[in-house]
Structure 1
Amino acid sequence: MTLGIIAAVIILFIIYVLWDNQKLDTTHYSIKIPYISESLKGIKLLQISDPHIRNNRADFQKLIEEAKEAKPDLIVLTGDLVQAGLEDFPAEAVTKLAESLTAIAPTYAVTGNHDFSYTGNQRWQLALLNGGAQLLLDKAEWIPVKDSGLVLMGLAEKGDMKQTSRPLLQHIELPPALEKFPKILLAHHPEFFEEYLDDRTKAPDLVLAGHTHGGQVRLPFIGGLFSPGQGLFPKYDYGYFYRDSEPARRLIINRGIGNSTFPFRVFNRPEIVVITLQ
Structure 2
Amino acid sequence: MKKFVTTTYRITTDKIKRHPLRFVMISDLHNVVFGERNDPVFEKIRALNPDAILIAGDLVLGKEDASLKPAAAFLSEAVKLAPVLYGPGNHEQRMKLFTEEYGGRFSAFEKKMKQMGVSYLENERVVWQIKGETVAVTGLDLPIEYYNRGPQKGPGRKELEGLIGRPDKDVYEILLAHTPRFGDDYFAWGADLILSGHYHGGIMRLPFLGSVISPDFRLFPRYAYGEYRKKDNTPAKRAGRRQRVTGKEQIMITGAGLGEHTLPLRINNPRELVVLECLPKEV
Q: Indicate the TM-score class for this superposition, using the shorter chain for normalisation.
A: 0.7 to 0.9
Residue in 2 aligned with 1:143? 128
Asked if 1:116 corresponds to 2:116, the answer is: no
- Contact (CA 8 Å) 2:154, 2:185: kept in 1 or not? no
Change over 3 Å in CA distance of 1:183–1:116 after alignment to 2: same
Change beyond 3 A, Cα 1:52–1:170: same
* Between 223-232 and 44-53, the greater mean CA deviation after superposition: 223-232
User: What is the aligned partner in structure 2 of residue 31 from structure 1?
Assistant: 11
Whether contact under 8 Å (1:94, 1:128) holds in the other structure is no
Q: CA deviation at 1:134?
A: 0.9
Conserved 8 A contact 2:177-2:194: yes
The offset of 1:229, in angstroms, is: 5.5
Instruction: Sort the Cα spacing of 1:158 and 1:59 in 2 relative to 1 into closer, same or farther, 3 A.
Output: farther
Give how far 1:89 is off.
3.2
- Deviation digits for residues 84-111 of structure 1 (CA, Å, limit 9, x no counterpart): 2233532x32222111111110000011
SS at match of 1:198: helix
Paired with 2:273 and 2:27, the residues of 1 have a C-alpha distance of 7
2:241 is aligned to none
TM-score by length of 1: 0.81
* Aligned mates of 1:54, 1:272 — CA distance in 2: 13
> Between Structure 1 and Structure 2, how many residues are aligned?
250
Distance 2:129 2:199 in 1: 31
CA distance in 1, matches of 2:30, 2:174: 24
Provide closer, same or farther for how the CA distance between residues 137 and 32 of structure 1 changes in structure 2, counting only shifts above 3 A: same
Unmatched runs of 5 consecutive residues or more in structure 2: 98-103, 147-151, 235-247
Q: 1:134 aligns with which of 119, 127, 146?
A: 119
Contact 1:225 1:234 in 2 (8 A): yes
**Deviates most, 120-129 or 130-139:** 120-129
**What SS is found at the alignment partner of 1:44?**
strand
- Identify the residue that residue 223 of structure 1 maps to in structure 2: 210
The 2-side partners of 1:83 and 1:154 are apart by: 19
**Partner SS, residue 266 of structure 1:** coil
CA contact (8 A) 2:72 2:109 kept: no
Q: Could you say if the C-alpha distance between residues 190 and 36 of structure 1 is closer, same or farther in structure 2, counting changes exceeding 3 Å?
A: same
2:46 corresponds to which of 62, 65, 68: 68
Q: Which has the larger radius of gyration?
A: 1
Residues 32, 259 of structure 2: 8 Å contact kept:
no
Distance in 2, matches of 1:147 and 1:110, equals 24
Aligned partners of 2:112 and 2:162: how far apart in 1?
Answer: 24
Q: Are 2:140 and 2:164, in contact at CA under 8 Å, matched by a contact in 1? A: no
* Distance in 1 separating the partners of 2:5 and 2:276: 14
Task: Please list every run of 5 or more consecutive structure 1 residues that lacks an aligned counterpart in the other structure.
Answer: 1-18
Aligned partner of 1:94 in structure 2 is 71
Query: What value does the CA root-mean-square deviation take over the aligned residues?
Result: 2.5
- Residue 188 of structure 1 is matched in structure 2 by 178
Q: Which moved more, 1:96-105 or 1:116-125?
A: 116-125
